[in-house]
Structure 1
């Protein structure tokens, strides 16, 4: 992912709901229970981890049994320390006390709770980036620190790989053409990091890399599920039963699920968005513009996909009276700058969601050169009486404005090509009249029509008209 362009907006659940989700995650709830259990007799080692003698008692407090009970208790304790639920009061004695953050879990705001959970997430992500390494003891230097040069492992590369995978999972989740709430197959997620986008049939070497990445991700998502980031269906153990034999490729959707399925939870969407923002990405959320002006609404939704732009606009309209909203939208849509056509398109889309109470605002701009056309369209669609017919000049101006807006919103899309073909077919002599339209985007629109129209003769007419328009504009 590039941090230079905004990501699609994410739909977040209310913070109060997300805070409840955070408090109920296995890892944070265990960490909180251990923080409340810890007392004067609790001892920690030099790294603030529970001493081995106290792990059985910690596991018992958490109701954990089995061979992994103490490991899970140790992990929960580490989260409690890292998030400030527990603090070391005497390093020499190894004694601890409840930390200031513990009170936030019961007396703090939802945002406070989520901040604590975010700290827990960072701890788990750091752990997930550390693979099981054979011969770790042999890699320790004289001071007891890990000498990474002795290992076939780059900690920065491992962290970057996991960040990239989670970034791709976030992008798939929030994209309008992605799976949305549905889980993503682990092979597809692994392939998104390994297989080049321009590669046709993957080579055996690339497929082997994808398989290795899947096994790594299987371990990592098992660690990330207890903190509430994802819901994860692990890789079927039977597929890995024979290490010497490569598992067969999945043959149907049911088979694919055996290779692992992962879904970003609502809490996970919140957490990853926070990390993306901190990393410098533009990661908008639906509803952020609801309390801002119409100009901010238009600017903010300029790059949004259609459904996301509508959801953001609906949230904005919900806070305003229809007539007041319509007047504000129309005022913000005016202008002759390069972004103005797209603002008017967003205005038209917003006004389509407003009821008949807005009619006076539309009638007030019937005589406006920039807004009169869209006002007539709005009134006519609602069967309003006494709507003056548009002049030919207004029709052509609105046409140029509409095409300019579509170019800004979608570029050279199939939908725009259909619009261009339709215009040329419906209006005989369109180009002979269009080049005279006094709109700042006239020449650009005619050039685009020449580029998009499949008929060479008509495309040539459009290019000639564009040349005339530029000459008229002095450019």
Structure 2
């Protein structure tokens, strides 16, 4: 959590804006929409809602390199055309708006079912003449349209045979929309939740960030299974299966935006979930897990989902955000970063400052007796490890500082610099307590790590009578640290000594 208690996501590493814009331009749906918008340069007659007439869909599909005689291809063409209209790549002028009614090869108005003319809109020029931010704005507008479509089931799915007339068409006048089992807000929240969880699974796992796929069952389980449920019961498994099919269908649509890469479920498995007799499944391409569907966010998808999280009030940092912040903000944020992301963040921060100035700023920010101070000092050590020898004067200036003298001696000694005074016993014990307090704060809310257990065992084994001296340390976290040592040390006598020392430390305060 951040200081203002907003929900927090791990930091994400994103490409440069120019690279993201290139990805957006290359995404299937936007690139097709742009081609159709250019095709309409002379004006194309359209229906009342701006839709491309059936007679032109085959032509549009062929222009996109699709089979104009194939129903699915015509559907892709219609989808791209609609996106062009929704994003402003195409501008629709209805008859009677004062336009010239350009025909673009179509018959003039009348009984052809058309009601206006579509021609390139102002947004189209942004794709070629605008900057990366302009391109991404157009792409984001298209993404929102597709997300809304993906969260909206087809009318046939909602009503079944209800409202079907003799001609096989849906009769809108016969529908009771309030009686439908569909909540638009709930559907949108479901898809948003799925993308959020996919984002968290991606940025929280280095293997996924590097391009590994997330199994669809894992994502579905993250949406419906209670966190503390080790073995889902039959009801939960059934719900997971239903969610998998639902996501599989939605991801097929979203893949066209470039937001994700999707390997769909084996059709035989979909039949099983739907209750039909499954066909004999083909051998999976990679392994059995792949049959259940796989998905991953692209860098463009990480960018898009992160923006949605920010708009929802989530603290979703990107690596590089801290480069212009002050040292205290940097040190407070670093413990939430993985090792590689933290290093990149520190390097970006240091690149803007002279080494000596940076070291002094870091050391000043590391001071304090507040509950977050130990983590800041641990982060300070991490940052100072990347500072060059030019920072030496700053470290010598704090050798007598009770909070910073210990880490300054470590920094100087690691670089083989001479004239480093030996620390007092008091300073050694204070630094020990401070380091353990930082480790405890890092693991807050989690089970004690093996790293903490090894650290505690090593300290007690190396220092005879450790607890007799440790309880006297003038550090705000002394009692808490000793209590934790009693919990993790495997030796019963040592654990007992730690509890007694913790009691004495708290009584002394």
Q: TM-score, normalised by structure 1?
A: 0.91
Is it true that 1:126 corresponds to 2:126 in the alignment?
no
Q: Tell me the residue number matched to 2:73.
A: 69
Q: Tell me the residue number matched to 1:194.
A: 224
Is it true that 1:465 corresponds to 2:501 in the alignment?
yes
Distance 1:148 1:267 in 2: 36
1:229 to 259, 267, 284: 259
Are the aligned partners of 1:12 and 1:269 in contact in 2 as well (CA < 8 Å)?
yes
Deviations 1:393-421 (A, max 9, x none): 11111111111111112234332222222
Deviates more, 1:246-255 or 1:10-19: 246-255
Distance 2:503 2:269 in 1: 65
2:39 to 37, 40, 58: 37
Deviates more, 1:277-286 or 1:426-435: 426-435
Cα offset, 1:114, TM superposition: 0.9
Superposed, 1:411-422 pairs within 5 Å as 411=444, 412-422=448-458
> Cα distance 1:440–1:262, how it changes in 2: closer, same or farther (>3 A)?
same
Distance 2:245 2:83 in 1: 25
Q: Tell me the residue number matched to 2:196.
A: 167
- Structure 2 unmatched ranges of 5 or more: 97-114, 165-169
Q: Tell me the residue number matched to 2:162.
A: 138
> Cα distance 1:435–1:323, how it changes in 2: closer, same or farther (>3 A)?
same
> Cα distance 1:249–1:295, how it changes in 2: closer, same or farther (>3 A)?
farther
Are the aligned partners of 2:268 and 2:278 in contact in 1 as well (CA < 8 Å)?
no
CA RMSD of aligned residues (A): 2.9
Distance 1:217 1:137 in 2: 24
> Cα distance 1:175–1:139, how it changes in 2: closer, same or farther (>3 A)?
farther
Number of residue pairs matched by the alignment: 473
Cα offset, 1:338, TM superposition: 1.6
Q: Tell me the residue number matched to 1:25.
A: 27
Distance 1:320 1:139 in 2: 69
Are the aligned partners of 2:485 and 2:495 in contact in 1 as well (CA < 8 Å)?
yes
Superposed, 1:24-423 pairs within 5 Å as 24-39=26-41, 41-65=43-67, 66-90=70-94, 93-132=115-154, 133-134=156-157, 135=159, 138=162, 147-176=176-205, 179-180=208-209, 181-237=211-267, 239=269, 243-245=276-278, 254-411=287-444, 412-423=448-459
Distance 2:372 2:282 in 1: 49
Cα offset, 1:257, TM superposition: 1.6
Report SS of the residue matched to 1:95.
strand
Deviations 1:350-402 (A, max 9, x none): 11122333222212221222111001011111221111100111111111111
Q: TM-score, normalised by structure 2?
A: 0.85
Deviates more, 1:302-311 or 1:70-79: 302-311
Distance 1:421 1:270 in 2: 44
Are the aligned partners of 2:148 and 2:188 in contact in 1 as well (CA < 8 Å)?
yes
Cα offset, 1:296, TM superposition: 1.5
Deviations 1:304-342 (A, max 9, x none): 334432332222223333333222211211122221111
- Structure 1 unmatched ranges of 5 or more: none
Deviates more, 1:144-153 or 1:434-443: 144-153
Are the aligned partners of 2:245 and 2:270 in contact in 1 as well (CA < 8 Å)?
no
Distance 1:284 1:432 in 2: 44
> Cα distance 1:360–1:461, how it changes in 2: closer, same or farther (>3 A)?
same
> Cα distance 1:115–1:424, how it changes in 2: closer, same or farther (>3 A)?
same
Report SS of the residue matched to 2:316.
coil
Are the aligned partners of 1:139 and 1:151 in contact in 2 as well (CA < 8 Å)?
no
> Cα distance 1:423–1:145, how it changes in 2: closer, same or farther (>3 A)?
farther
Deviations 1:148-170 (A, max 9, x none): 44433333332222222211211
Cα offset, 1:11, TM superposition: 0.6
Cα offset, 1:176, TM superposition: 3.6
Cα offset, 1:270, TM superposition: 0.6
Report SS of the residue matched to 1:202.
coil
Is it true that 1:15 corresponds to 2:39 in the alignment?
no
Q: Tell me the residue number matched to 2:476.
A: 440
Are the aligned partners of 1:250 and 1:256 in contact in 2 as well (CA < 8 Å)?
no
Distance 1:106 1:177 in 2: 35
> Cα distance 1:224–1:251, how it changes in 2: closer, same or farther (>3 A)?
closer
Are the aligned partners of 1:447 and 1:463 in contact in 2 as well (CA < 8 Å)?
yes
Are the aligned partners of 2:268 and 2:279 in contact in 1 as well (CA < 8 Å)?
no
Distance 2:347 2:24 in 1: 28
Report SS of the residue matched to 2:11.
coil
Deviates more, 1:53-62 or 1:168-177: 53-62
Are the aligned partners of 1:273 and 1:283 in contact in 2 as well (CA < 8 Å)?
yes
Are the aligned partners of 1:173 and 1:264 in contact in 2 as well (CA < 8 Å)?
yes
> Cα distance 1:12–1:146, how it changes in 2: closer, same or farther (>3 A)?
farther
Deviations 1:106-126 (A, max 9, x none): 122211211111111111111
Distance 1:125 1:463 in 2: 56
Are the aligned partners of 2:86 and 2:142 in contact in 1 as well (CA < 8 Å)?
yes
Distance 2:324 2:481 in 1: 34
Q: Tell me the residue number matched to 2:110.
A: none
